[in-house]
């Protein structure tokens, strides 16, 4: 199986890190989640509905749309908070990467544990910019909102391509494909990881500073 890999890059002010990451991660998970499966008998099932919720950002001119699941939101927020803290404490000029990996389990023979096979990975490269004054922060607030809108459109376009998805499982195999631990939604199995690095490059942050400078010049 070939694992599909997508890379997104964003440049944000420090206080925007968590909102930008939540916007992108929730967008992906919204399209990689289903309602809960209700099995009547093996091979016959119904799928519950997935509600959505609009959330206005405090530091970005953007409204994210997420799955209406407080449980899932808490899991994502915890991972993002850990990433933001590590980013702030790293001393690496505010550069890092958070990744959302979808995988499925393959049974292994005893005594080996199940094999986790990734089928899609989203990597979000983050550059944190330092701004001089409130005027620059206001411009950054607007520009980051515009960029997030473009990223969301890009995510939806990628997800709507007819590429690999795990086949719908039987009741006995549902745990190998979906995370069934949440009571109100059923995302594909996933894990969130991050790394802090000083080798991501500065092209995105340079672009953001140029956008702010050009706007101030108008």
For residue 112, what are the CA distances in angstroms to 103, 106, 115, 126, 175?
Answer: 18, 11, 9, 37, 17
Q: Rounded to 5, what percent of the chain is helix, strand, coil? A: 40, 30, 30
Give the pLDDT confidence score for residue 172 in this predicted structure.
86
Cβ neighbours, 10 Å, residue 116: 13
- pLDDT for 61 equals 97
Beta-bridge mates of residue 121? 5, 101
What pLDDT sits at residue 106?
Answer: 87
| pLDDT less than 70: residues of the chain | 1, 42-43, 91-93, 110, 198-218
Question: What CA–CA distance (Å, rounded) separates 83 from 194?
Answer: 6
pLDDT at 200: 46
- Beta carbons of 76 and 26 less than 8 angstroms apart: yes
Q: What is the pLDDT of residue 90?
A: 74
User: What are the pLDDT digits (tens) for 115-144?
Assistant: 899 999 999 999 999 888 999 999 999 999
Give backbone dihedrals phi and psi of 43, rounded to 5 degrees, phi first: 90, -5
* C-alpha to C-alpha distance for 148 and 24, rounded to whole angstroms: 8
pLDDT in tens, 78-99: 999 999 999 888 765 679 999 9
In the chain, the N- to C-terminal Cα span, in Å, equals 51
């Amino acid at each position: 199986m070939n694992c599909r890999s997508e890379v997104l890059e964003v440049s944000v002010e420090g206080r925007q890190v968590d909102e930008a990451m939540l916007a992108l991660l929730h967008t992906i998970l919204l399209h990689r989640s289903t309602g809960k499966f209700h099995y009547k008998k093996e091979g016959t099932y119904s799928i519950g509905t997935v509600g959505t919720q609009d959330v206005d950002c405090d530091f970005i001119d953007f409204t994210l749309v997420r799955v209406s699941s407080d449980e899932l939101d808490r899991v994502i927020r915890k991972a993002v908070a850990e990433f933001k803290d590590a980013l702030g404490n790293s001393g690496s000029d505010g550069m890092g990467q958070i990744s959302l990996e979808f995988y499925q389990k393959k049974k292994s023979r005893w005594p080996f544990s199940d094999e986790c096979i990734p089928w899609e990975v989203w990597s979000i490269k983050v550059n944190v910019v330092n701004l001089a004054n409130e005027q620059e922060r206001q411009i950054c607030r607007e520009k980051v909102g515009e960029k997030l809108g473009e990223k969301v459109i890009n995510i939806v376009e990628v997800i709507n391509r007819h590429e690999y998805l795990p086949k719908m499982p039987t009741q006995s195999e549902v745990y190998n494909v979906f995370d069934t631990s949440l009571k109100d939604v059923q995302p594909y199995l996933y894990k969130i990881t991050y790394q802090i690095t000083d080798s991501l490059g500065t092209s995105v942050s340079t672009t953001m500073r140029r956008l702010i400078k050009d706007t101030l010049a108008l």
